[in-house]
């Protein structure tokens, strides 16, 4: 399928540097009986070396031409392809189907144009995931792993760090792809975790964090006016005059839990 034309609407940039591919597979460390799912296998740059180590690989691919090509190249018992949009795909149901007593491992070169909403989608079922190894735009990875107090720290940082331990592993230059993207890329490892303080209302935490970062240059007091009052900040020992990037994940959870106490019982 060497003549496949990358489709811009699918955010297709195909990895082709064999050294980078080998490094990624080494980071993943696939085991023969892993319940592994690849998001966006594309032209099989990662698929092929993964299948050398796995008994079976599942793949989620939206491009029907690629699905047809991969279906001819690999038997279904080795590569089980799900022709679907990863943004709407039920990964929890797939996990239940292929690994009811275990967890799935997710890998992939994620389309950069949908990476943020896809990461939030995956955060919806961390209890079914063993780990994730993803290629992403480098600036997105930096936001994911950012610590409080730096410019990259934001809504993505807080919500993903609530669900996952994350570590940037490798830098990947544009020339490792065809066509070369206009940005640098990186590999990130994500391992689900139980946060030190559980959110009483996850949807409430998500809403609080989104509102807090609605205007980054404003203080928490201003961004959360009508949601959290001075008495809430004082009770938790939080300075309401700081900007949202200076509040830790733990303090966002503490504040969300205090606000959740006011909600009527459901």
Return d(Cα 208, Cα 210) in angstroms, integer: 6
Three-class HEC string of the chain: CCCCCCCHHHCCCEECCHHHHHHHHHHHCCCCCCCEEEECCCCCCCHHHHHCCCCCEEEEECCHHHHHHHHHHCCCCCEEEEECCCCCCCHHHHHHHHCCCCCEEEEEECCHHHHHHHHHHHCCCHHHEEEEEEEEEHHHHHHHHCCCCCCCCCHHHHHHHHHEEEEEEEEECHHHEECCCCCCEEEEEEEECCCCCCCCCHHHHHHHHHHHCCCCCCCHHHHCCCCCCHHHHHHHCCCCCCCHHHCCHHHHHHHHHHHHCCCCCC
For the chain, percent of residues with pLDDT exceeding 70? 94
Find the mean pLDDT for residues 39-58: 95
Q: Which domains does the chain have, with CATH numbers?
A: 13-192 (3.40.50.150), 202-260 (1.10.8.100)
Task: Give the pLDDT of residue 8.
Answer: 44
Question: Which residue, chain included where needed, has tokens 């997105």?
Answer: 140
- Look at 12-16, 51-55, 58-62 and tell me which has the smallest mean pLDDT: 12-16
Task: Give the pLDDT of residue 1.
Answer: 45
Mind listing the pLDDT tens digit for each residue in 209-229?
Answer: 999 999 999 999 999 999 999
Task: Give the pLDDT of residue 6.
Answer: 41
Exposure string (b/e) for 55-64, b if CB count within 10 Å is 16 or more? ebbbbbbbbe
Question: Which residue, chain included where needed, has tokens 């900007």?
Answer: 243
* Cβ–Cβ under 8 Å, residues 61 and 40: yes
Task: Give the pLDDT of residue 75.
Answer: 97
Mean pLDDT (the chain) is 92
Mind listing the pLDDT tens digit for each residue in 146-202?
Answer: 999 999 999 999 999 999 999 999 999 999 988 787 889 999 999 999 999 999 999
pLDDT at 16 over 70: yes
Nearest to 147 by CA among 116, 168, 132, 127: 168
**Inter-CA distances, 130 with 71, 106, 135, 188, Å:** 27, 8, 17, 14
Return d(Cα 19, Cα 16) in angstroms, integer: 9
Nearest to 131 by CA among 23, 261, 27: 27
Residue partners of 149: CB distance under 8 A and separation at least 6: 245, 246
pLDDT band at residue 3 under the 50/70/90 scheme: low
**Inter-CA distances, 59 with 52, 113, 236, 248, 250, Å:** 15, 19, 46, 36, 35
For the chain, percent of residues with pLDDT exceeding 90? 85
pLDDT band at residue 7 under the 50/70/90 scheme: very low
pLDDT at 2 over 90: no
Find the mean pLDDT for residues 1-26: 70
Token couple for 191: 């391992």
Mind listing the pLDDT tens digit for each residue in 76-119?
Answer: 999 999 999 999 999 999 999 999 999 999 999 888 888 999 99
């Amino acid at each position: 399928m060497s003549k496949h034309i990358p489709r811009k609407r699918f955010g297709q940039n195909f990895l082709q540097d064999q050294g980078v591919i080998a490094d990624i597979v080494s980071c993943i460390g696939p085991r023969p009986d892993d319940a592994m799912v690849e998001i966006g296998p594309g032209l099989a740059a990662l698929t092929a070396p993964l299948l050398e180590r796995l008994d079976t690989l599942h793949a989620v691919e939206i491009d029907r031409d690629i699905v047809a090509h991969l279906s001819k190249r690999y038997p279904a018992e080795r590569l089980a392809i799900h022709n679907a949009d990863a943004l709407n795909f039920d990964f929890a149901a797939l996990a239940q189907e292929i690994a009811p007593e275990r967890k799935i491992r997710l890998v992939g070169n994620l389309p950069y144009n949908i990476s943020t909403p896809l990461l939030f989608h995956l955060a919806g079922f961390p209890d079914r995931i063993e780990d994730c190894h993803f290629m992403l735009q480098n600036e997105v990875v930096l936001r994911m792993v950012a610590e409080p107090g730096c410019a990259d720290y934001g809504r993505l940082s807080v919500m993903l760090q609530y669900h996952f331990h994350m570590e940037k592993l490798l830098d990947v230059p544009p020339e490792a792809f065809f066509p070369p993207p206009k940005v640098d890329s990186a590999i990130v490892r994500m391992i689900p975790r139980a946060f030190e303080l559980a959110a009483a209302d996850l949807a409430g935490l998500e809403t609080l964090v989104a509102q807090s970062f609605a205007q980054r240059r404003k203080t928490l007091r201003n961004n959360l006016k009508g949601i959290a009052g001075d008495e809430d900040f004082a009770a938790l020992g939080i300075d309401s005059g700081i900007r949202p990037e200076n509040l830790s994940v733990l303090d966002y959870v503490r504040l969300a839990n205090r606000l959740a106490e006011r909600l009527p019982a459901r």
